[in-house]
Amino acid sequence: MSRPDVVTTVAELRTRVAAWRRDGARIGMVPTMGALHDGHLSLVEAARGGADRVVVSIFVNPTQFAPTEDLATYPRDLDGDLAKLAGAGVDLVFAPETGEMYPEGAATTVTVGGPAVGLESDARPHFFAGVATVVTKLFAQCLPDVAYFGEKDFQQLAVIRRLTRDLSLPVSVEGRPTVREPDGLAMSSRNVYLNADSRSRAPALYAALTRAAAAIGEGLPSEAAVAAAAADIAAAGFAIDYVEHRDAETLGRPEPGRPGRLLVAARIQEVRLIDNIATPNYRQL
């Protein structure tokens, strides 16, 4: 099956998208950092269903990595990614170099408050400014009608929804469910860092969230459910960054009668994994 066309400059991207738009096409975008897996492909499938033309961006965004993080070793495989996208109904891949995204002298950053405060930001204070800046740029470069993001990165999705509203960006943001391995581990490009022992322990994260969400649904107070999840996750050998129950939209305190979310970040063998789950029938104060 034929691989999608690839462009590397904003000018080429704009030319292609403008021609589709002249034909009245609805443009869908799936921003990624590559090393594609079935989670990414589920976003492509959703985009195929919701748009006439699909653009996938592949860019490992340096501004969302701290100097101590894994920018240099983050898995990159454009050729393999294009093979995975062959036959997936992608019209164009935008794979810019860093210099194309951040021209010499670049001095503008998009910072988001609200849902960007706490959780991931406690461990990675640089992270959401990098994400918000690159997503704003990608939206401005491609001008999609709709863009697809995974609930896997739940706080990121909330941040992108917030910034899109706050900056009046004419893009509708669609969140899609987390795609998991058969044992429950959320698919992630970083899972390749796990050794056999850590990989066998990793499903404990989702198992603990599932138990805690069910317990909350049965009326267990939120704090007790969170404490039980944390104990389960620590017992599996993880060092916990956070386990929190939050309001699913604002990511503030969970409110009775509103959708809630349990969110976790934990490290095993120096690999940091994140996951989250909806909490049903939240009634406690």
Q: Which residues would be at the binding site for ligand AMP (CB under 6 A)?
A: 32-33, 39-40, 42-43, 149-150, 152-153, 176, 178-179, 186-189
- 32 vs 198, beta carbon nearer ligand AMP: 32
Q: Binding site for ATP: what residues are annotated?
A: 33-40, 150-153, 179, 187-190
Q: How far is the CB of 254 from ligand AMP (least distance, A)?
A: 22
- 150 vs 260, beta carbon nearer ligand AMP: 150
Q: How far is the CB of 223 from ligand AMP (least distance, A)?
A: 28
Cα–Cα distances in angstroms (integers) from residue 242 to residues 66, 190, 227, 281, in the given order: 19, 19, 11, 23
- 75 vs 221, beta carbon nearer ligand AMP: 75
Q: How far is the CB of 131 from ligand AMP (least distance, A)?
A: 8
Q: Binding site for (R)-pantoate: what residues are annotated?
A: 64, 156
Q: Binding site: what residues are annotated?
A: 33-40, 64, 150-153, 156, 179, 187-190
Is residue 40 among the annotated active site residues? Answer: yes
Q: Which of 16, 40, 53, 261 is catalytic?
A: 40
- 116 vs 215, beta carbon nearer ligand AMP: 116
Q: How far is the CB of 215 from ligand AMP (least distance, A)?
A: 24
- Record the tokens describing residue 56, joined without a space: 């996938």
Active-site amino acid positions: 40
